[in-house]
């Protein structure tokens, strides 16, 4: 069964991977609470001033298992049931960047390449010969190199930034599809049930058809 | 007591005779292969779509300002809302997959031939209804691809002679795809499945009049029939189990593989996506649309490409029964047609370049060519097969079919 899923998955991914022109780095997102917590921590520090996550409420973070004290720190006076709206108002953001920064709730699913795209994009900054920074995944981007990849010196720093990006993407993957784990868990039960049921139905069919011979 | 109740009902409603006529005594060829499971599966998916759709409609809001949010509400907050929505979205693909196999089987075994033309044509009507329903449902999430897909397709009605512009406005309820379009598509998306159910009943009445075809093409009088129940209910249920396993793999483990990433971005009329693609089940027809340089020509070609199937009873002039079974050239033609469909699907999926345009145009020619050559090829093939010497069975079959036809004619004359 796993093999079949893997084969089918591989077909699905290969069609996805084809769609984007720039070469994306392929990653496997983490689903454990610790990685997601580091991710949301990074995100609250680096992204949340401009980007909203309007479909995520602070309570969702607590329910997932993120440290309640941290969540309380982020939300300050806001209620647990308020959404993770950006600190900067949209009009200020438009004034600063020329357009509103996109909401990140579904970002992990909203680009060809999905999480690979977001990861490669976050790390895709480089310094052009004229001294300005640019991004080779999304050249028209207005977002500054928030993780500092283009200015990184040495492998150690780059590795740290990569880890940060990986955690952020892991959080975004959870945010885009918070029921993924529940869905997979339920999926194994459903498949197990269906395999047994189908096996039995096959035997029933054979038994009934045996009357004909 | 139970028999008294049954008597009471039977005096008022033909329940027993219905069950007898359509299930326990309904004669079904015993040699049907698993390719004959797909009609039942299509019916099952229809029920699945209606059931999940009704529950989705309880939480969905048809309003440009709210529909995208309401989908996220379903996905995140509604209990098992994600399951309902993924079942419904995957179900649309499953429906087309099942219907395409069902149609391919009909083409391969020549099940569209006399006396099953009306059965085939009601199926053709069902295909059109299904396509319309799927197209309207795709607008409802109000994502980028929803909006631009609906914009592109409604725009095609500009090709209507004289009143094209008015027709487009009439369809959209506005000059652009907007709130009026969304609400009417929602309303019709809820209505059409019930029209489909009605058409399915007509399809089944036609089926139960002419009975199922079968792989050998053996005439009904000669073949070995068994009752539908319990033999084919058991076989269909086993097939359903296999279907549900594949379906569940998609629903639980890769549901987003069937959803365009761009549809996770709310519709934005000010920003066209880089590359507008329809859902996979429309790709071959979309490729035909794009292959014709002239818009009106493209629309006509696309419409015809869907309707070509209806002409098969007229196009196929061979008297050899059993579809591709006894007909090597027709069989080859069938497989080439399948390959052509895949090529068209690929061409419809990739962004157009001069190269893919050319491949698309060749594939479009092959598409229509394979239909238009059927009358000629089927005649030549028949002559060649008869000269080569038919297997005895087939010769007998042709004779008996001929006799049947004469009998029917004689009856008609009286």
pLDDT digits over B251-269, tens only?
999 999 999 999 999 999 9
C-beta separation of B89 from B99 below 8 A: no
Distance from CA of A198 to the nearest CA of B (A): 5
Q: Which of A8, A111, A179 comes nearest B249 by C-beta?
A: A8
How would residue B133 be classed by pLDDT, with cut points 50, 70 and 90? very high
Answer yes or no: do A114 and B261 touch at CB < 8 A. yes
- Work out the average pLDDT over A110-121: 95
Distance from CA of B82 to the nearest CA of A (A): 8
User: In the prediction, which pLDDT does B393 show?
Assistant: 73
In chain A, the residue whose alpha carbon lies closest to the alpha carbon of B226 is A212
- Which residue is catalytic, options B111, B189, B203, B236? B236
- Is B57 exposed, middle or buried, given 0-12, 13-18 or 19+ CB atoms closer than 10 A? middle
Question: Which residues of chain B make contact with A191, given a CB cutoff of 8 A?
Answer: 245, 248-249, 252
Answer yes or no: do A112 and B254 touch at CB < 8 A. no
User: In the prediction, which pLDDT does B24 show?
Assistant: 92
Question: Which residues of chain B make contact with A4, given a CB cutoff of 8 A?
Answer: 249
- Which of B219-233, B294-308, B350-364, B368-382 shows the lowest mean pLDDT across its residues? B219-233
- Note if B279 is an active site residue: yes
User: In the prediction, which pLDDT does B244 show?
Assistant: 98
- Work out the average pLDDT over A178-190: 97
Structural tokens at position B54: 């009704």
User: In the prediction, which pLDDT does B60 show?
Assistant: 98
Distance from CA of A204 to the nearest CA of B (A): 7
> pLDDT tens for residues B36-69?
999 999 999 999 999 999 999 999 999 999 999 9
How would residue B81 be classed by pLDDT, with cut points 50, 70 and 90? very high
Largest CA distance in chain A: 84
> Bridge-partner residues for A133, per DSSP?
A127
Answer yes or no: do A194 and B241 touch at CB < 8 A. yes
How would residue A89 be classed by pLDDT, with cut points 50, 70 and 90? confident
- Note if B212 is an active site residue: yes
The model's pTM is 0.92
- Which of A8-12, A97-101, A206-210, B16-20 shows the lowest mean pLDDT across its residues? A8-12
Question: Which residues of chain A make contact with B255, given a CB cutoff of 8 A?
Answer: 183
> pLDDT tens for residues A30-41?
999 999 999 999
pLDDT higher than threshold 80 for residue A124: yes
- Work out the average pLDDT over B235-256: 98
> pLDDT tens for residues B145-194?
999 999 999 999 999 999 999 999 999 999 999 999 999 999 999 999 99
Q: How far apart are CA B217 and CA B402, in angstroms?
A: 14
Question: Which residues of chain B make contact with A112, given a CB cutoff of 8 A?
Answer: 261
The overall average pLDDT reported for chain B is: 93
Tokens 């061979």, residue located: B318
How would residue B221 be classed by pLDDT, with cut points 50, 70 and 90? low
- Work out the average pLDDT over B205-219: 86
C-beta separation of B89 from B258 below 8 A: yes
- Burial code (b: 16+ CB inside 10 Å, e: under 16) for B185-199 equals bbeebbebbeebeeb
- Work out the average pLDDT over A10-39: 74
Distance from CA of B198 to the nearest CA of A (A): 30
Q: A209 touching B, CB under 8 A?
A: yes
Q: Which of A113, A114, A209 comes nearest B231 by C-beta?
A: A209
ipTM value of the model? Answer: 0.91
Q: Which of A12, A55, A111 comes nearest B261 by C-beta?
A: A111
pLDDT higher than threshold 60 for residue B294: yes
Query: How many CB atoms neighbour CB A32 within 10 A?
Result: 10
How would residue A98 be classed by pLDDT, with cut points 50, 70 and 90? confident
What is the percentage of chain B residues whose pLDDT exceeds 70? 98
User: In the prediction, which pLDDT does A20 show?
Assistant: 45
- Which of A113-127, B108-122, B161-175, B321-335 shows the lowest mean pLDDT across its residues? B321-335
- Work out the average pLDDT over A94-110: 92
User: In the prediction, which pLDDT does B400 show?
Assistant: 72
pLDDT higher than threshold 70 for residue A17: no
Helix, strand, or coil here: A98?
coil
Answer yes or no: do A184 and B252 touch at CB < 8 A. yes
> pLDDT tens for residues B297-320?
999 999 999 999 999 999 999 888
User: In the prediction, which pLDDT does B404 show?
Assistant: 72
Q: How far apart are CA A72 and CA A80, in angstroms?
A: 8
Q: Is the peptide bond before B233 cis (omega within 30 degrees of 0)?
A: no
**Which of A103, A187, A11, A188 has the alpha carbon at shortest distance from B82?**
A187
DSSP one-letter code for B255: G
User: In chain A, which among 164-193 make CB contacts under 8 A with chain B?
Assistant: 176-179, 183-184, 186-187, 190-191
User: In chain B, which among 22-61 make CB contacts under 8 A with chain A?
Assistant: 30
Question: Which residues of chain A make contact with B234, given a CB cutoff of 8 A?
Answer: 201, 204-205, 208-209
First-to-final CA distance of chain B:
48
- Which residue is catalytic, options B61, B88, B211, B235? B235
Q: A31 touching B, CB under 8 A?
A: no
Q: A55 touching B, CB under 8 A?
A: yes
pLDDT higher than threshold 50 for residue B409: yes
Q: A105 touching B, CB under 8 A?
A: yes
C-beta separation of A54 from B73 below 8 A: no
What is the percentage of chain A residues whose pLDDT exceeds 90? 77
């Amino acid at each position: 069964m796993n093999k079949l899923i893997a084969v089918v998955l591989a077909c699905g991914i290969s069609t996805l991977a084809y769609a984007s022109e720039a070469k994306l780095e392929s990653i496997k997102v983490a689903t454990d609470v610790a990685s997601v917590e580091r991710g949301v921590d990074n995100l609250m520090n680096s992204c949340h001033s401009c980007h909203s996550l309007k479909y995520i409420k602070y309570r969702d973070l607590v329910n997932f298992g993120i440290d309640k004290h941290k969540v309380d720190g982020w939300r300050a006076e806001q209620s647990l049931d308020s959404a993770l709206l950006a600190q900067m108002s949209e009009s200020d953001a438009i004034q600063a960047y020329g357009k509103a920064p996109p909401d990140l709730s579904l970002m992990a699913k909203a680009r060809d390449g999905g999480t690979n795209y977001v990861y490669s994009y976050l790390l895709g900054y480089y310094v052009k010969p004229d001294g300005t920074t640019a991004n080779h995944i999304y050249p028209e981007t207005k977002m500054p190199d928030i993780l500092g990849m283009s200015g990184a010196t040495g492998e150690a720093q780059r590795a740290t930034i990569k880890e940060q990006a990986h955690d952020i993407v892991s959080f975004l993957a959870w945010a885009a599809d918070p029921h993924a784990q529940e869905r997979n868990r339920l999926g194994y039960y459903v498949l197990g049930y269906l395999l047994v049921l189908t096996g039995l139905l096959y035997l029933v069919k054979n038994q009934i058809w045996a009357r004909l011979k | 007591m139970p028999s008294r109740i049954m008597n009471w009902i039977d005096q008022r409603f033909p329940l027993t005779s219905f069950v007898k006529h359509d299930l326990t005594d309904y004669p079904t060829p015993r040699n049907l292969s698993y390719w004959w499971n797909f009609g039942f599966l299509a019916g099952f998916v229809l029920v699945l779509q209606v059931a999940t759709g009704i529950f989705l409609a309880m939480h969905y809001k048809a309003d440009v300002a709210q529909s995208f949010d309401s989908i996220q509400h379903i996905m995140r907050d509604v209990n098992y809302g994600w399951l309902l929505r993924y079942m419904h979205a995957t179900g649309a693909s499953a429906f087309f997959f099942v219907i395409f196999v069902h149609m391919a089987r009909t083409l391969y075994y020549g099940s569209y031939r006399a006396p099953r033309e009306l059965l085939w044509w009601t199926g053709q009507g069902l295909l059109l209804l299904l396509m319309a329903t799927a197209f309207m449902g795709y607008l409802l999430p109000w994502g980028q691809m929803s909006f631009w897909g609906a914009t592109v397709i409604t725009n095609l009605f500009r090709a209507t002679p004289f009143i094209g512009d008015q027709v487009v406005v009439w369809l959209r309820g506005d000059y652009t795809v907007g709130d009026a379009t969304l609400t009417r598509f929602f309303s019709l998306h809820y209505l059409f499945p019930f029209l489909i159910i009605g058409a399915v009943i007509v399809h089944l009445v036609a089926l139960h009049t002419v009975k199922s075809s079968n792989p050998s093409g053996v005439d009904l009088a000669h073949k070995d029939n068994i009752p539908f129940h319990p033999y084919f209910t058991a076989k269909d249920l086993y097939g359903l189990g296999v279907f549900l396993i594949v379906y569940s793999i998609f629903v639980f483990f890769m549901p987003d593989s069937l959803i365009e990433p761009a549809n996770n971005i709310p519709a934005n009329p000010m920003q066209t996506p880089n590359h507008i693609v329809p859902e996979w089940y429309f790709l071959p027809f979309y490729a035909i649309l794009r292959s014709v340089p002239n818009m009106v020509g493209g629309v006509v070609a696309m419409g015809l490409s869907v309707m070509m199937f209806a002409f098969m009873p007229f196009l196929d002039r061979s008297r050899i029964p059993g579809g591709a079974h006894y007909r090597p050239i027709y069989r080859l033609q069938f497989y080439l047609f399948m390959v052509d469909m895949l090529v068209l699907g690929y061409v419809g999926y990739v962004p157009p370049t001069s190269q893919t345009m050319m491949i698309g145009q060749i594939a479009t020619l092959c598409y229509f060519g394979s239909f238009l050559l059927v009358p000629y090829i089927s005649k030549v093939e028949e002559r060649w097969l008869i000269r080569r010497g038919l297997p005895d069975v087939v010769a007998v079959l042709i004779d008996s079919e001929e006799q049947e036809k004469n009998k029917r004619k004689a009856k008609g004359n009286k």
